[in-house]
Amino acid sequence: MAVTEAHIQDAINRLKDTGVRITPQRHAILEYLIVSMTHPTADEIYKSLEHKFPNMSVATVYNNLRVFKKTGLVKELTYGDSSSRFDFVSSEHYHMICNSCGKIVDFHYPGLDEVESLAEQVTGFQVDGHRMEVYGTCPECQKQNKQLKS
């Protein structure tokens, strides 16, 4: 079984364990989130699946994303463009965000794993989690900017 298929099956099992019924639309939305790796908006998910499910509404996508969030399968990411993006939670990772086009890319840096325990030691807080974003210009936008300047 491929890694992606394993992620999908694990996610489905997790939903079933919490009493969530697996509908074809729910399965398709979950699969899209896992396979795409693009941090899509609800509208992008809807547009990519509307041909497969012509009776599905944007509200259906939002409702399913809410269910996925509640079970911990998906994180809602809110950044500068004010539209929520959704990220399948496969492992702890951070985000690199392009200031020009808004593209979001995952990266993992094990050196940051100890940040939470250090923060607890220094502040006395009980840490529930953390998030880090790094902003810059993606390679495609850099190339486009160079072409515009020449």
The domain limits of the chain are 1-90, 91-150
The answer to whether 93 is annotated as binding is no
- Min mean pLDDT across 20-24, 29-33, 127-131, 139-143 is at 127-131
Q: Give the CATH H-level superfamily of domain 91-150.
A: Ferric-uptake regulator, C-terminal dimerisarion domain (3.30.1490.190)
Same topology between domain 1-90 and domain 91-150: no
Q: Is 7 marked as binding a ligand?
A: no
Given this model, what pLDDT does residue 2 score? 59
What residues contact 132, with CB distance under 8 A and at least 6 apart?
94, 95, 112
Looking at the predicted structure, is the pLDDT value of residue 81 above 70? Answer: no
Average the pLDDT over 48-64 and give the result: 94
Residue 51 assigned as binding residue: no
Fold of 1-90: Arc Repressor Mutant, subunit A (1.10.10)
Q: How many CB atoms are located within 10 Å of the residue 23 CB?
A: 13
Instruction: Using the predicted structure, report yes or no on whether residue 6 has a pLDDT greater than 60.
Output: yes
SS3 77: strand
